[in-house]
Amino acid sequence: MPEIEQREVDELVDEAISKHRNVKDILIEMKDTSELMVDLAYSALLTNSKAIAEEVRELERRMDELEYEIMSMLMLAAKTPEGAADLSGILRVALATEDIADAAENITNVVVRGIGDHPIYQSILDETEEQVVKTRVGTGSRLISKTLGELEMKTTVGCYIRAIRRGRRWIYDPNESTRILESDLLIASGVESAVDKLEEMAKGNQSSPK
């Protein structure tokens, strides 16, 4: 059984309370997470990337935690039958968002099962120029402490940073002011030569583009 299902209900409720988050914050994170999952799931499918497929599965585990968190908060907030009825619409939104995340994970199952070896699927891969990779920022990398604006990833490297995983936290829509830190996991897309260059830079084997 997944770890999330083995935890006691009172522990989940205590954790939800301790985070001091409101329902709106949780819904926003669920929306951002599900959108990223769909984006990465299609990327994994079109590039036959098992590494990206695994990131989608990791995000699904995070979605499970968010679902438990928002359900806990809604139960605490529904002090009367009338209140429960009012909050049921929010619960339906949360469950629908979870359904989107489940669908994204189902897309990646095609990749994980190895169907990419089929000739029809190979013909799709042959037409796909863009690559999607995940790469860890290592010690000594010139990327460390630089913002995406300073690095000018799109113009000088040719890569688009789609998301950053920092520990268990995700930065879903990094912009020019987003700063890269050591040990960040970068999810990036671009042509093969561009993502190869980014991977070398992340490892500290190549100078930054500035």
Q: Is 189 in the same domain as 93?
A: no
**CATH number where 192 lies:** 3.30.70.1450
Would you state the pLDDT for residue 151? 92
At CA 190, angle to CA 132 and CA 157, rounded to 5? 130
Would you state the pLDDT for residue 1? 36
In a domain, 77, yes or no: yes
Q: Is 173 in the same domain as 111?
A: no
Q: Which residues form the domain of 163?
A: 129-203
Would you state the pLDDT for residue 2? 45
In a domain, 9, yes or no: yes
Q: Which of 88, 117, 146 is the last residue of a domain?
A: 117
Q: Is 148 in the same domain as 113?
A: no
HEC string of the chain? CCHHHHCCHHHHHHHHHHCCCCHHHHHHHHHHHHHHHHHHHHHHHHHCCHHHHHHHHHHHHHHHHHHHHHHHHHHHHCCCHHHHHHHHHHHHHHHHHHHHHHHHHHHHHHHHCCHHHCHHHHHHHHCCCCEEEEEECCCCCCCCCCEHHHHCHHHHHCCEEEEEEECCEEECCCCCCCECCCCCEEEEEECHHHHHHHHHHHHCCCCCCC
- The one-digit pLDDT tens for each residue of the chain (210 residues) are 345 454 555 665 666 667 777 888 999 999 999 999 999 998 998 888 889 999 999 999 889 889 888 888 888 777 777 777 778 889 999 999 999 999 999 999 988 887 656 666 666 666 667 888 999 999 999 999 999 999 988 888 899 999 999 998 899 889 999 999 999 999 999 998 999 999 999 987 555 454
**CATH number where 82 lies:** 1.20.58.220
Task: Please give the Cα distance from 71 to 94 (Å, whole number).
Answer: 9
Q: Which of 117, 147, 167 is the last residue of a domain?
A: 117
Would you state the pLDDT for residue 188? 94
